[in-house]
Structure 1
Amino acid sequence: MNSPVEIPYQSFIKINRNSEVAIYMQVTNQLINAIQRGFLPFGTKLPGTRALSQLLQVHRNTIVAVYDELFAQGWVESLPNKGTFVIRKNDEKPVSFNDFNQINLKNYPKTTGFTFKTSNILDNPFERSDCEFVFNDGVPDIRLTQIDQHSRIYSSTLKRRAHKISHYNQDGSEFFKKNLSQYLNLSRGLPISTHNILITRSTEMSIYIVSEILLSENDTVLIGALSYFSVNMIFQKTGVKIVTIPIDDEGIDVEEVRKICQKQKIRMLYLTPHHHYPTTVTLSAQRRLELLNLANEFGFIILEDDYDYDFHYDKSPILPLASADTNGMVIYIGSFGKSLAPGFRTGFIVAPENLMTEMRKYLGIIDRQGDILMEHVLGEMIAEGEINRYLKKSVKVYQERLDYFVRLVEENLGNYLQFKKPSGGLAIWAEWKIPINLMQLSRNCGQNNLFIPKTLLYQNKDLTAMRLGFGNFNFDEMEKSIEIFSKTVKRMS
């Protein structure tokens, strides 16, 4: 047997004296890890407490506590007049001391020792870039948020409310739900109570929960011919059959929906009627009524995603389909606080009570803790009118940015792009008048400090188009981005 002093304990026992974990527990855990991985073979004699304490430069009593803990956990045995030994639990071949220097204890296995299902459906479609300018999907500019004010509200809420919260509440803050239900009633015409709201972390979580409860493998789901890629990924993972419906200037083609319903059973229709994603067109009032009638007639669910209702520039935005639903056929999902700082945003689902009961069970599994304090903050912002004041200011800024962005695109790219100015949202939908390789355009712009993610590009044999977000740009950034963009296009054309 090799001498205990030949083992390079210092190579695999690293002590962090600033850690909150007691030193004796740090040493204990690392010795157990070495035993489990076979670096300290079964039957190995450990150094005496004095020798190991000198080697690791700790007090001898610390090593005594280490050995006591190893003995208590059953990793070592102490033999009178012989020493302390790693207990031999099986006949596994120990690691040779001669090979010890080749072992890197910090290496974690690169692959599992078992097989599992893999899928490319949920591959992350988002890209990152170090470019100074970025065309995004139409997200708010966080520089406009009053983060200091939000932080003060959070801090005061924490002091006043934290002592009242003694347990997790998967149903969310009743205070927030009460204020949110009133807010949605007044702003979107939804005659709901707290019993009709489920608080989630995002639109994607909302759709995931809905899909898990309401969709089964081989169900048929209708979506727009162009639709939100993240939602498509969730539906595909559920195993449903996706059927696309044409989109025109009035939104989804309702007659096509009727034809399909007459031929086969439809479980769900997913749509973004306020501003269709990605084309930004608004579903006409007449088609909204027709869809509700079709849902009642053929019994399919309407999943209404109102992802950017807050960003409308018309004086009278069209109310959601859910506001006119009297038969419980519409599930309404949205986001709240999208124009606030990222940490102050949340999602929600609105549905009849019987479905809400089942949804709360699923939420209790995937988000049992929730964020009660943040929900209190959002509830206070509604109650005090802070949300309305902030939205009024930010919408004015975004409308000015839309007007300026549209003018820049028309002046610099009018011969190459055609588009209609949207009535709301933070992006425009532009179709190309000329043949152009959009992936190559993206790469060329990236070389000139302008990043265009592939998720904004739509190109097939019938369509070449882009979704261009403007909300994150101030006027100067718009000018520089459009300058890079237009110069690149002209060089390629």
Structure 2
Amino acid sequence: MWKPDRDSNKPIYEQIADYLERRISYGEFPPGSLLPSERKLAEQLGVNRSTIIAAFAELRSLGIIESRTGSGTRVNKTKWGATPKHTPNWRRFAEGGNFLPNLPFLRRIREALIQNPTLIDFASGELSADLAPTKEIAELMNNYEYTSYLGYDNPQGSTLLRQALVEYLAKYRGIQTTESSILITSGSQQSLYLITQCLLSPGDAVAIEDPSYCYSLPMFQSAGLRLFRLPVDAEGAQAEDIRALYKKHRIKMLFLNPNYQNPTGAVLSDERRKQFLDVTSELGLPIVEDDPFSLTSYDGEAPLPLKAKDSAGAILYIGSFSKIAASGLRIGWMVAPHSIVERLADARQQMDFGLSIIPQQVAGQFIKSSYFEPHLDRLRMELRFKRDLLIEALEQELPSAAQYTIPQGGLHLWCKFNNQINDSKLLDESIKKGVVFVPGSVYGSDSGFVRFTFARPKAEDIRLGISHFSKAIRELDLNV
């Protein structure tokens, strides 16, 4: 967010007047639209209300805005002179379209982190900078001779990266595939977007876990899909629930996150895995398997994906580097029948003509290098250490206040607080105290659940963050 420059020789009220005039001229505030109140603007820009009053006075003198008692301050409909000029109502466009915005809680968290980067972040589902293989990738980039061709690449993604992934998937995930059955995407989210937009139609019924990361993605609603939930317990979802949903709603596709499920951390039991494969095979029902966390398994024994047992070719398997290396590389992949890969590659080419070549080459080199396994070992050790710090902090700051199952992999701790919690009030109070988290209702749960991501904050900040969180709870007198 823009802020006035307090070191500038130009008075702050003039800076604010110029800033507002630019926003008006860009069409962000169309003619006749209501400007934020003086008090609201003062809070947003961190200035006294008198400074905003002076800025408004400057704009009124130029005929750009007009104020009326009881009606607020509006942009003058003829602000540029006697002849009216019509600016498109961009706000109406921004509120239109078929693609829905992020959920209000997620927008609130994002805005809070932008406004105050010092917040202790238990919300962002990514690795902290010290967990990323920054030095290793820099070394590879210094020593690797990259292709001289910097044009559009294969719509399926870099051939070299797909070849490297064939070896990676066989070695680490027990998946036998070929490069022609792999599509490179800009992370798991783009894989899900392509599936919802290209393989499903408005009105189709799909099954997702409850709670589920998928529930937090408005792209499912934007695609017009009907969502039906599969309750998740300590052993994951239950396959028998699929039969009832299929019979009643004609479920067309199933979305599962079997290993260290987001947000609960649950691992689908061996018995339930077999049941899911049997039931979906019987019904001819495809599974979308999202597997971002398996290699974070703290004991180094990563559970195999469902795809490793997929003899019928019924599973679309999604993976990513975001949770095991660096989200900024924007490298993900999908393993699917070649006809599906071709369909989605064609759609993705219409969107962006393919991914950047250089990150793909970096990723391909990294997973083939001698750096990869030592990085995974260090990552697992550090994540386990941070998990233990978080649990210790909760036990000390909020003893007996919450129930949780200690995860054996992944980045998250899923907590159910014993007393009723107002998600909105608790999030707002926590932000005031200096910490952010994700309320459980974002994932479809009732209020009272919280997801803490321990991979993002620094180790030394975890105890302090939980201390801030406990103060927010006590401020609201929740009697935990």
TM over 0.5, yes or no?
Answer: yes
Any residues of structure 2 matched to 1:337-356 within 5 Å, and which? Answer: 337-356=322-341
Determine which of 339, 350, 358 is the counterpart of 1:373.
358
CA separation of 1:175/1:119 partners in 2, compared to 1, >3 Å: closer, same or farther? Answer: closer
CA separation of 1:241/1:341 partners in 2, compared to 1, >3 Å: closer, same or farther? Answer: closer
Structure 1 partner of 2:119 = 132
Structure 2 partner of 1:154 = 141
CA separation of 1:231/1:335 partners in 2, compared to 1, >3 Å: closer, same or farther? Answer: farther
Residues in 2 aligned to 1:211 and 1:238: alpha-carbon distance in whole angstroms: 6
Structure 2 partner of 1:209 = 194
The Cα shift of 1:290 comes to 0.7
Structure 2 partner of 1:318 = 303
The letter of the residue matching 1:303 is: V
Structure 2 partner of 1:277 = 262
Q: TM-score scaled by structure 1?
A: 0.73
Q: Secondary structure at the match of 2:219?
A: helix
The letter of the residue matching 2:260 is: H
Structure 1 partner of 2:451 = 467
Residues 1:488 and 2:469 are matched in the alignment: no
Q: Give per-residue Cα distances to partners, 1:223-251, cap 9 Å, x unaligned.
A: 11211146642222221221112222211
Structure 1 partner of 2:71 = none
Residues in 2 aligned to 1:315 and 1:152: alpha-carbon distance in whole angstroms: 25
Residues 1:396 and 2:367 are matched in the alignment: no
Residues in 2 aligned to 1:258 and 1:397: alpha-carbon distance in whole angstroms: 41
Residues in 2 aligned to 1:114 and 1:284: alpha-carbon distance in whole angstroms: 47
Residues in 2 aligned to 1:279 and 1:269: alpha-carbon distance in whole angstroms: 18
The letter of the residue matching 1:490 is: R
Any residues of structure 2 matched to 1:244-259 within 5 Å, and which? Answer: 244-259=229-244
Consecutive unaligned residues in structure 1, runs of 5 or more: 1-98
Structure 1 partner of 2:132 = 145
The letter of the residue matching 2:140 is: I
Determine which of 405, 424, 428 is the counterpart of 2:413.
428
CA contact (8 A) 1:137 1:468 kept: no
CA separation of 1:114/1:315 partners in 2, compared to 1, >3 Å: closer, same or farther? Answer: closer
The Cα shift of 1:343 comes to 2.8
The Cα shift of 1:402 comes to 0.9
Structure 2 partner of 1:27 = none
CA separation of 1:101/1:407 partners in 2, compared to 1, >3 Å: closer, same or farther? Answer: closer
Structure 2 partner of 1:192 = 177
The higher radius of gyration belongs to: 1
Structure 2 partner of 1:329 = 314
Q: Aligned pairs, how many?
A: 392
Structure 2 partner of 1:296 = 281
Structure 2 partner of 1:406 = 391
Residues in 2 aligned to 1:411 and 1:442: alpha-carbon distance in whole angstroms: 21
CA separation of 1:243/1:285 partners in 2, compared to 1, >3 Å: closer, same or farther? Answer: same
Residues in 2 aligned to 1:326 and 1:302: alpha-carbon distance in whole angstroms: 13
The letter of the residue matching 1:143 is: D
Q: Secondary structure at the match of 1:248?
A: coil
The letter of the residue matching 2:466 is: I
Residues 1:358 and 2:337 are matched in the alignment: no
The Cα shift of 1:317 comes to 2.5
The letter of the residue matching 2:172 is: S
Any residues of structure 2 matched to 1:164-175 within 5 Å, and which? Answer: 164-165=149-150, 167-175=152-160
CA separation of 1:169/1:103 partners in 2, compared to 1, >3 Å: closer, same or farther? Answer: farther
Residues in 2 aligned to 1:144 and 1:100: alpha-carbon distance in whole angstroms: 53
Percent identity over paired residues: 26
Q: Secondary structure at the match of 1:162?
A: coil
Residues in 2 aligned to 1:270 and 1:408: alpha-carbon distance in whole angstroms: 34
CA contact (8 A) 1:459 1:465 kept: no
CA contact (8 A) 1:138 1:425 kept: no
Consecutive unaligned residues in structure 2, runs of 5 or more: 1-77
Q: Secondary structure at the match of 2:429?
A: helix
CA contact (8 A) 1:333 1:350 kept: yes
Q: Secondary structure at the match of 2:433?
A: coil
Q: Secondary structure at the match of 1:440?
A: helix
Q: Secondary structure at the match of 2:171?
A: helix
The Cα shift of 1:262 comes to 3.5
Residues 1:118 and 2:97 are matched in the alignment: yes
Residues in 2 aligned to 1:214 and 1:471: alpha-carbon distance in whole angstroms: 33
CA contact (8 A) 1:138 1:468 kept: no
Q: Secondary structure at the match of 2:146?
A: helix
CA contact (8 A) 1:333 1:349 kept: yes
Worse-superposed segment, 372-381 or 482-491? 482-491
Structure 2 partner of 1:477 = 461
Q: Secondary structure at the match of 1:161?
A: coil
Q: Secondary structure at the match of 1:332?
A: strand
The letter of the residue matching 1:296 is: S
CA separation of 1:103/1:212 partners in 2, compared to 1, >3 Å: closer, same or farther? Answer: same
The Cα shift of 1:168 comes to 3.4
The Cα shift of 1:368 comes to 1.2
CA separation of 1:111/1:166 partners in 2, compared to 1, >3 Å: closer, same or farther? Answer: closer
Residues in 1 aligned to 2:138 and 2:89: alpha-carbon distance in whole angstroms: 41
The Cα shift of 1:141 comes to 0.9
Q: Secondary structure at the match of 1:128?
A: helix
The Cα shift of 1:148 comes to 4.3
The Cα shift of 1:113 comes to 10
CA separation of 1:123/1:117 partners in 2, compared to 1, >3 Å: closer, same or farther? Answer: same
Residues in 2 aligned to 1:313 and 1:128: alpha-carbon distance in whole angstroms: 33
CA contact (8 A) 2:166 2:179 kept: yes
Pairwise CA RMSD: 2.9
Residues 1:240 and 2:225 are matched in the alignment: yes
Structure 2 partner of 1:14 = none
Residues 1:309 and 2:294 are matched in the alignment: yes
CA separation of 1:472/1:185 partners in 2, compared to 1, >3 Å: closer, same or farther? Answer: same
CA separation of 1:113/1:307 partners in 2, compared to 1, >3 Å: closer, same or farther? Answer: closer
CA contact (8 A) 1:421 1:428 kept: yes
Worse-superposed segment, 433-442 or 109-118? 109-118
The Cα shift of 1:282 comes to 0.9
Residues in 2 aligned to 1:259 and 1:100: alpha-carbon distance in whole angstroms: 62
Q: Secondary structure at the match of 1:326?
A: coil
Q: Give per-residue Cα distances to partners, 1:36-81, cap 9 Å, x unaligned.
A: xxxxxxxxxxxxxxxxxxxxxxxxxxxxxxxxxxxxxxxxxxxxxx
